[in-house]
């Protein structure tokens, strides 16, 4: 009888101590039920959070000094509330749990974009969540440090002082079992573990890129064939430009006055998507051999390396700031070029105009006697739209009838986005004119890394992997070729046919090779949109979604 009573008393002690630590867990149990859409995820989240709290509880109970225990208890409560906040706010905002993909984007993003992200992230529900959790935390801390001094002392009796071995054993087994289960079964539900592993993966990826894609040549490609005659090729990498706001793609505003003038000289591909909606993930595929079928991060090569290895002098002109928290992936790829010009040191918060790139292009084009491959990375129509064009490009005003979600904010942003697109139109046209004036064997290819949503199908602005819309994937892909180039490639002439092909830019490297007359061991003609052997395949976006069945 006495044994039974001690066990009961000691269990009661653990329980009354635990009940405070388990408050966040109970909060998850209730709010998660409403906010986590699918039951399986809900159950997993609840179990994972419960186990994690149990481990922390054991941590508190094994300590001897009451003061240390109190401090640790308070600290762990703060950690739990913080974790719960991150988890629940993601579910509330995105309807999804925070994952490695989102963390990659966060690691790669600079401070301005992060604050921009936070601005759009903070809504009423999340503010309410924040204050409720803060109140809960205060309640626990006040209980812990200011009230019920005696009973709290009792509650916080260290387990090691328990008389009964069975209880000690139970507590330690509980801790070991919880740790084991978290690591083996629930690591994706634990924000700490996901952050840790994805940060480790991220650093590893960066190391790999430094040793591979940032080098002049890739050791994974070989057997290059390319003509030695004079060639001047330009690839323009756009930014955040959706084809749904381009006149060339039937938008109802005249956002492409200059490209439309030369429309019959252009291949305007009608149905092209980007594989992701964020710059880094997207360009990592578009500019390299990796695609969904072979994510191939170690055995890789970029379009810059292909150009180097087939005898071109390469130029990388970029208007995007090269430094984030770490060097960004496009910067690494650009570093392989033999001549690099990162002309912009300003963040996207400032006025950044792409016309600044043009004098550099002039200089590069001056020397006509060699094989030149020029890559131009635009600031394009990056968010902060009104800072992407000079005042004289202030053109659109008033409400556009095509905008689905009409309000003051959407009117202002749609106008500035459309102005930015009109300015972008003038930049692409000017690049074409400059190349055309050289009257050599040349082409200019332009695409955007992804698009932005502007109140057309969803009441939002920008791009966001959790709430994707067609405008974020559907991008312009436009190619101009000189007469000399067309004569060299009679197989490209069936323009009306090729521009109708559905294409995913993750295979751009093969179209690029075809267009540039480069062949090498990994070249796959069935993935080149210009080639007679082209094969329409599933267009996979994100991590395995079939875009055309979405």
Residues in the site for Zn ion, rule: CB under 5 A?
239, 279, 449
Q: How far is the CB of 189 from Zn ion (least distance, A)?
A: 30
b/e map 300-318, b = 16+ CB within 10 Å: bbbbbbbbbbbebbbbbbb
What stretch of H or E contains 454? strand 453-454
Query: Nearest approach, Cβ of 413 to Zn ion (angstroms)?
Result: 17
Taking alpha carbons only, the member of 428, 336, 419 closest to residue 378 is 428
Rounded to an integer, what distance in angstroms lies between the CA atom of residue 189 and that of residue 210?
31
Strand pairing category for 313-318 and 371-377: parallel
Distance of alpha carbon 253 from alpha carbon 320, whole angstroms: 28
Cα–Cα distance for residue pair 226/170, rounded to 1 Å: 72
Q: Determine the residue with CB nearest Zn ion.
A: 279
Please, which residues have CB within 8 angstroms of residue 517's CB and are 6 or more apart in sequence?
A: 226, 227, 231, 488, 489
Strands 477-481 and 371-377: unpaired
Q: Provide the minimum distance between the beta carbon of 320 and Zn ion in the complex, in angstroms, as a whole number.
A: 9
CB of 306 to Zn ion, least distance (A): 23
- How far, in Å, are 69, 151, 343, 350 from residue 155 at the CA level? 11, 6, 63, 56
Please state the closest distance from residue 323 (CB atom) to Zn ion, in A.
16
Residue 379 and residue 394: Cα distance in Å, rounded? 18
| Residue with Cβ nearer Zn ion (232 or 242) | 242
Q: Helix (H, G, I), strand (E, B), or coil: what is residue 403?
A: coil
Smallest distance from Zn ion to CB 463, Å: 7
Q: Which is nearer to Zn ion, 239 or 506 (CB)?
A: 239
- Residue with smaller CB distance to Zn ion, 239 or 464: 239
239 vs 425 by CB, closer to Zn ion: 239
In this complex, which beta carbon is closest to Zn ion, that of residue 279 or of residue 482?
Answer: 279
Q: How far is the CB of 388 from Zn ion (least distance, A)?
A: 13
189 versus 354: smaller Cβ distance to Zn ion: 354
Return the number of the residue (194 or 320) whose C-beta is nearest Zn ion.
320
């Amino acid at each position: 009888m006495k044994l039974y009573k001690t066990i009961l008393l000691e269990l009661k002690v653990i329980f009354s101590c635990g009940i405070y630590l388990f408050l966040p867990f109970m909060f998850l149990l209730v709010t998660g039920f409403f906010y986590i859409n699918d039951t399986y995820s809900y159950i997993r989240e609840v179990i994972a959070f419960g186990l994690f709290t149990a481990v922390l509880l054991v941590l508190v109970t094994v300590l001897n000094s009451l003061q240390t225990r109190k401090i640790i208890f308070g600290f762990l409560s703060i950690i739990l509330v913080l974790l719960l906040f991150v988890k629940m706010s993601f579910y509330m905002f995105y309807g999804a749990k925070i994952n490695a993909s989102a963390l990659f984007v966060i690691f790669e993003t600079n401070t301005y974009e992060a604050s921009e992200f936070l601005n759009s992230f903070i809504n009423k529900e999340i503010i309410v969540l924040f204050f409720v959790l803060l109140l809960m935390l205060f309640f626990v801390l006040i209980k812990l440090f200011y009230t019920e001094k005696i009973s709290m002392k009792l509650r916080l009796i260290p387990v090691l002082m328990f008389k009964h071995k069975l209880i000690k054993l139970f507590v330690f087994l509980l801790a070991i079992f919880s740790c084991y289960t978290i690591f083996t079964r629930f690591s994706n539900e634990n924000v700490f573990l996901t952050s840790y592993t994805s940060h480790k993966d991220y650093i590893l990826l960066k190391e790999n890129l430094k040793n591979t894609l940032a080098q002049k040549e890739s050791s994974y490609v070989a057997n290059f064939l390319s003509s030695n005659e004079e060639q001047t090729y330009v690839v323009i990498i756009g930014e955040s430009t959706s084809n749904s706001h381009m006149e060339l793609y039937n938008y109802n505003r005249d956002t492409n006055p200059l490209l439309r003038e030369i429309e019959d000289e252009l291949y305007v591909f009608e149905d092209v998507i980007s594989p992701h909606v964020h710059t880094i993930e997207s360009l990592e595929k578009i500019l390299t051999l990796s695609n969904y079928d072979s994510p191939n991060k170690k055995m890789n090569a970029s379009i810059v390396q292909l150009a180097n290895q087939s005898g071109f002098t390469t130029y990388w002109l970029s208007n995007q700031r090269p430094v984030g928290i770490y060097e960004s992936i496009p910067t690494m790829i650009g570093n392989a070029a033999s001549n690099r010009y990162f002309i912009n040191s300003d963040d996207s918060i400032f006025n950044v105009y792409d016309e600044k790139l043009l004098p550099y292009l002039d200089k590069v084009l001056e020397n006509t006697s060699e094989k030149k491959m020029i890559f131009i990375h635009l600031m394009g129509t990056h968010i902060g739209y009104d800072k992407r064009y000079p005042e004289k490009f202030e053109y659109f005003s008033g409400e556009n009838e095509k905008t689905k979600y009409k309000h003051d904010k959407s009117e202002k942003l749609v106008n500035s986005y459309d102005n930015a697109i009109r300015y972008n139109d003038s930049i692409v046209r000017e690049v074409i004119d400059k190349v055309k004036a050289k009257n050599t064997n040349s082409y200019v290819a332009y695409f955007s890394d992804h698009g932005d949503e502007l109140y057309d199908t969803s009441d939002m602005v920008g791009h966001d992997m959790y709430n994707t819309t067609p405008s974020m994937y559907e991008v312009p892909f436009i190619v101009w070729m000189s007469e000399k180039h067309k004569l060299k490639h009679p197989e490209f002439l069936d323009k009306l046919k090729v521009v109708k092909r559905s294409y995913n830019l993750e295979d751009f490297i093969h179209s690029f090779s075809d267009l540039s007359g480069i062949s090498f061991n990994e070249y796959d003609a069935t993935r080149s949109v210009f080639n007679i052997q082209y094969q329409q395949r599933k267009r996979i976006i994100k991590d395995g979604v079939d875009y055309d069945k979405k």
